[in-house]
Amino acid sequence: MIQLNNVTKKYPGDVIAVDNVSLEIEKGETIVFVGTSGCGKTTTLKLINRLIDLTSGSITIEGKDISEVDSYALRRTIGFVIQNVGLFPHFTIERNVGVVPELIGWDKEKTRERTGELLTMVGLEPEVFADRFPGELSGGQQQRVGVARALAANPDVILMDEPFGALDPITRETLQDELSPLWNDLEKTVVFVTHDIFEAVKIGDRIAAMDSGKILQVGKPSEVIKYPKDETVASFFAQHRFQLELLTTRIEPIIEAYDENRVKDIKDKITLHPNDSLIDAMDALKSSKDNIVPVFDTQKKYLGIVNRASVTKEISNLIEQ
């Protein structure tokens, strides 16, 4: 667990970048800081790995005050991904991913093995990419390398500062879809910063809405969207409220029992997961051209179906609210 206790960061000239922030970040969760430019997201993130030092308050990770840990040592235990990754241009991809393992003294063989595993994990075949240089990769591929590098020494905590911010919308969505399950499955604690509210809602187990250095509200995406605490938080979502509600309403409550053998008759392979949203359900219904879609959990256990009528009913409930 990461704990921020009354954390304040002042810059010269009386800029209060982070203003008395207290927050508990659970082990294994993905928390997303969302807010407009200049609200203090990056500063908060950099306080956690001591790229900058706080003015007052304290931060602990697993109960240990980070001010008591050597800042270089601390950073080696925390993955960090930024926009435009900051890969070393004259290092191969393999060497870039292996930077931290090398620093902490892993032997060459172990580092090479780990690098290969990680590149595969983020969807880049090592045979193709390991010996290339960053300039020979697309922006999206470079961000994949950035994520692989952050995972290299197997840190418990990963900080991400608008990692997909510079990518085109399609690449951005692909990386969100492919990489966030990866760090969730690995049970990493992820602190993710974005100004993109859709990204926040999609990736976050919880979101922390920030403004003027303060955290205004923390909660599950569906809660924060449905019950914004004040006008400022409401204004973050105002323009896209309906879309965001569709995106954050899960299908789990509308799953119905249905004979598994009859589901087997459905030729389409389109299925849903209980965490999927009404939008996913609409997409699935549209593509399957059927009136029902089977639902399976992560372990591929059959849970039942959702049907067109209940999805439509949920949507009309949202319209009427």
What φ, ψ does residue 307 adopt, rounded to 5°? -115, 160
- Looking at the Cβ atoms of 33 and 129, the one nearer to ligand ADP is 33
The partner in contact with residue 98, picked from Mg ion, ligand ADP, none with C-beta cut-offs of 5 to 8 angstroms by kind, is none
β-strand partners of 206: 31
Integer CA distances (angstroms), 199 to 22, 165, 266, in order: 23, 10, 33
Minimum CB distance to ligand ADP, residue 13 (Å) = 7
Residues 169-228 that bind Mg ion (CB under 5 A): none
Where are the strands (E) in 202-257, listed by range?
206-211, 214-219
Site stretch for Mg ion (CB under 5 A), options 10-18, 38-46, 49-57, 110-118: 38-46
Shortest distance, CB of residue 9 to ligand ADP, whole angstroms?
8
Q: State the alpha helices, DSSP H only, in 122-220.
A: 126-129, 139-151, 169-185, 197-203
Q: Which stretch binds ligand ADP (CB under 6 A): 41-49, 71-79, 87-95, 183-191?
A: 41-49
Helix-then-strand count for the chain, H and E: 15, 12
Residue 40 interacting with ligand ADP (CB under 6 A): yes
Helix (H, G, I), strand (E, B) or coil at 77: coil
CA–CA distances in Å: residue 7 to residues 18, 23, 170, 255 = 7, 9, 36, 43
**Chain residue at closest Cβ approach to Mg ion:** 42
For residue 265, what are its two tokens? 């008759």
The residue from 5, 20, 28, 38 that contacts ligand ADP (CB under 6 A) is 38
Q: How far is the CB of 83 from ligand ADP (least distance, A)?
A: 11
The token duo for 250 is 């899960």
Residue 194 in the binding site for ligand ADP (CB under 6 A): no
Work out whether 43 is an interface residue with ligand ADP (CB under 6 A).
yes
| Region binding ligand ADP by CB under 6 A among candidate stretches 34-42, 144-152, 166-174, 242-250 | 34-42
Cβ distance to Mg ion smaller for residue 42 or 141 = 42
CB of 106 to ligand ADP, least distance (A): 33
- If binding is defined by CB under 6 A, does position 37 make contact with ligand ADP? yes
Query: Is 42 near Mg ion (CB under 5 A)?
Result: yes
Distance CA 218, CA 30 (A): 12
CB of 228 to Mg ion, least distance (A): 22
Window 85-104: residues binding ligand ADP (CB under 6 A): none
Q: What share of the chain is helix, strand, coil (3-state, %, to 5)?
A: 45, 25, 30
Q: Which helix (H) or strand (E) holds 122?
A: none
Nearer to Mg ion, 211 or 314 (CB): 211
- On the 0-12 / 13-18 / 19+ scale of CB atoms within 10 A, 70 is exposed
CB of 33 to ligand ADP, least distance (A): 8
Residue 49 engages ligand ADP in binding (rule: CB under 6 A): no
Binds ligand ADP (CB under 6 A): choice among 7, 25, 31, 42: 42
Give the whole-angstrom CA distance, residue 170 versus residue 13: 40
β-strands 56-61, 64-65: how paired? antiparallel
Angle 74-164-141 (CA atoms, 0-180°, nearest 5)? 95
Asked if 161 contacts 193 with a C-beta cutoff of 8 angstroms, the reply is yes
- Interface with ligand ADP: number of residues (CB under 6 A): 11
In the bound state with ligand ADP, the residue whose beta carbon lies nearer, of 215 and 292, is 215
Residues forming contacts to ligand ADP in the complex (CB under 6 A) are 11, 15, 17, 35, 37-43
Residues forming contacts to Mg ion in the complex (CB under 5 A) are 42
